[in-house]
Amino acid sequence: MRIAVARETEPGETRVALVPELVGRLTGAGYEVAVEPGAGRGALIDDQAYVAAGATVNENALHGAGLVLSVQPVGLEALRFCAPRAATVSFLFAGQRAGDVAARQAAGITTFAMEQVPRISRAQSMDALSSQSLVSGYRCAIVAAGRLREFFPLSMTAAGTVRPAQVLVLGAGVAGLQAIATCRRLGAVVKGYDVRAAAAEEIASLGATPIDLDLPTLDGAGGYAREMSEDRAALQRERLAPHIAAAHAVITTAAVPGRQAPVLVTAAMVAGMRPGSVVVDLAADSGGNVEGVTAGGVVNVPTADGLGSVQLWGGSNVPSQMPGPASRLYAQNVVNVVQLMTRDGRFDPDPADEIVTGMLVTHPSLTTEAP
C-alpha cells in the first residue's frame, strides 16, 4: 500500500508529517512511501533527502494512496485521487469544522485525528498535542527572553551584580511546564500558577515557586482543567495582579478543552506592569489569556505610569516557528500511530483498540447513502 506525505497548504504551516529519518520505519513495514515535492521545504528538508531515505517524490504522490499523512487536514479535492476507502492521519479539530467533517464522512474517507489520541500511558509515543506543546512552551520562553531587555540569570561581576529576571508562567500543562523549565535553565526566578491540584508539585519540581491563591482547584475529566465561573475568574485575576505587576515577563498557556481560552490577565493588569516588560500569550489563537492580544502579532501597550510600554506577543501556530524539531516529533507520533494500525503486514486498524476508536472521526461504514 502507498502512504502519501502531503505538502501543507495552510498559510504559515511550515511543518511536515514525515521526516526522512523515519521513512525506513514505513518502508521496512512493507509500505511504499510517496512524498509531494517541496513537502519538507518549510522545515528545511530537501526532496532529495526523502529519495535517499527510500521514498519517491512526485506531484502525483496522492494518486492511488491508501493512507495520507499531513499536519493540517488535506482538502477533500486533493483526496479524490486516493485509493477507494483511503484513510488520513492529521490534526483535524473536528469541533471547529463540522461541515468539513460531514463532507469527509459523505466521501467515504476514514479520518483519524491526531489531537484525539487518548492521553493514556500506552499512547504517549503518539501524543502529538504533547509533543507540539513541548515545542510551543520552549519557544514561548525563548521569545520572552529574547524580547526582554534584561538578563534572565543572576550575574555577579567585578562591576556589580545583575539581578535575575522575574518570570510568571500561568497555566502549567505540558507547554507551561516546558516554559518554566526553559526559563529556569536560563537562570530566571520563576513563579507558576495553574488551577489543577497536581500542578503545584510539578511547578516546584522544576525549581519554580507555585503560587497559592487560596482558591478551590478546578480539576476536570481526563486530567484537564474545568472552566472557571466568572466570579472565580474575577477573584483569580484580583489575586494574581500583584504577581503580574512584579514580573518582568509573563507567559500564559492556559486552556480548557473545547472552550475559548480563559482570560487571566486584563488590559489594566498589562498596563500596570513596569515599562519594558514582556507578555507572551500562547493561547492567542484560541481567543487569548490576555486582553488585547493579537494572534501572530505584537501589541505595545502603554504603561499606566506613562513611562513606556509593555510588549504583548500573541502566539499563532507556534510549533511552526520551530519546524525542524516540531516536524521530527510529530512524525515520530504519526509513525507510531501507523505502526499501531499495522497488523499482519497491512494497514488494518483494530476497531477494538481504544486508541484507534479515540482517533476515528469519519469512517465509510458510518456513511448514510444519499436518498
Active site residue 47: no
Our finding on whether 196 is near ligand NAD (CB under 6 A) is yes
Our finding on whether 124 is near ligand NAD (CB under 6 A) is yes
Q: For residues 131 and 329, what is the distance between their CA atoms, to the nearest angstrom?
A: 6
Active site residue 311: no
CB of 249 to ligand NAD, least distance (A): 17
Our finding on whether 355 is near ligand NAD (CB under 6 A) is no
Our finding on whether 130 is near ligand NAD (CB under 6 A) is yes
Give the residue, chosen from 131, 133, 136, 182, that forms a contact with ligand NAD under the rule CB under 6 A. 133
Cell readout for 154 is 543572576
Is the Cβ of residue 109 or residue 135 nearer to ligand NAD in the bound state?
A: 135
End-to-end, the C-alpha distance of the chain in Å comes to 33
- Nearest Cα to 105, choosing from 135, 85, 130, 131? 85
Q: Tell me whether strands 87-90 and 249-252 are parallel, antiparallel or unpaired.
A: unpaired
- Taking residues 280 to 319 in sequence order and writing x for each that binds ligand NAD by CB under 6 A, - otherwise, the string is ----------------------------------------
CB of 262 to ligand NAD, least distance (A): 4
- In the sheet that 360-362 helps form, which strands lie side by side, from edge to edge? 56-57, 32-35, 2-5, 67-69, 87-90, 110-113, 360-362
Our finding on whether 195 is near ligand NAD (CB under 6 A) is yes
Is the Cβ of residue 3 or residue 225 nearer to ligand NAD in the bound state?
A: 225
- Using CB under 6 A as the binding rule, the residues of this chain from 17 to 46 that contact ligand NAD are none
Give the residue, chosen from 3, 82, 225, 299, that forms a contact with ligand NAD under the rule CB under 6 A. 225
Of 80, 97, 119, 122, the active-site residue reads: 119
Q: For residues 254 and 291, what is the distance between their CA atoms, to the nearest angstrom?
A: 13
* Contact indicator for 319, 135 with CB cutoff of 8 Å: yes
Of 124, 229, 260, 339, the active-site residue reads: 124
Per CB under 6 A, the segment of 27-35, 36-44, 168-176, 333-341 that binds ligand NAD is 168-176
CB of 18 to ligand NAD, least distance (A): 23
Active site residue 121: no
CB of 256 to ligand NAD, least distance (A): 5
Q: Which residues contact 209 (CB under 8 A, 6 or more apart)?
A: 190, 191, 192, 203
Is the Cβ of residue 262 or residue 315 nearer to ligand NAD in the bound state?
A: 262
Is the Cβ of residue 47 or residue 202 nearer to ligand NAD in the bound state?
A: 202
Instruction: Compute how many other C-beta atoms are within 10 angstroms of the C-beta atom of residue 98.
Output: 9
Our finding on whether 69 is near ligand NAD (CB under 6 A) is no
- Nearest Cα to 130, choosing from 89, 171, 193, 177? 177
Q: For residues 117 and 113, what is the distance between their CA atoms, to the nearest angstrom?
A: 7
Q: How many residues bind ligand NAD (CB under 6 A)?
A: 29
Per CB under 6 A, the segment of 20-28, 88-96, 121-129, 334-342 that binds ligand NAD is 121-129
Active site residue 124: yes
* Coil, helix or strand at residue 153: coil
CB of 314 to ligand NAD, least distance (A): 16
What is the SS3 string spanning 10-62?
A: CCCCCCCCCCHHHHHHHHHCCCEEEECCCCCHHHCCCHHHHHHCCCEECCCCC
Strands (E), 120-224: 155-157, 160-162, 166-170, 189-193, 209-210
Active site residue 219: no
Is the Cβ of residue 88 or residue 136 nearer to ligand NAD in the bound state?
A: 136
* 144-to-182, 238, 278, 321, 341 alpha-carbon distances in Å: 11, 24, 6, 14, 40
- Taking residues 247 to 266 in sequence order and writing x for each that binds ligand NAD by CB under 6 A, - otherwise, the string is ------xxxxx----x-x--
Q: For residues 262 and 227, what is the distance between their CA atoms, to the nearest angstrom?
A: 8
Q: For residues 6 and 78, what is the distance between their CA atoms, to the nearest angstrom?
A: 9
Our finding on whether 172 is near ligand NAD (CB under 6 A) is yes
Catalytic residues: 119, 124, 127, 130, 224
Contacting residues toward ligand NAD, per CB under 6 A:
119, 124, 127, 129-130, 133, 170-176, 193-196, 199, 223-225, 228, 253-257, 262, 264
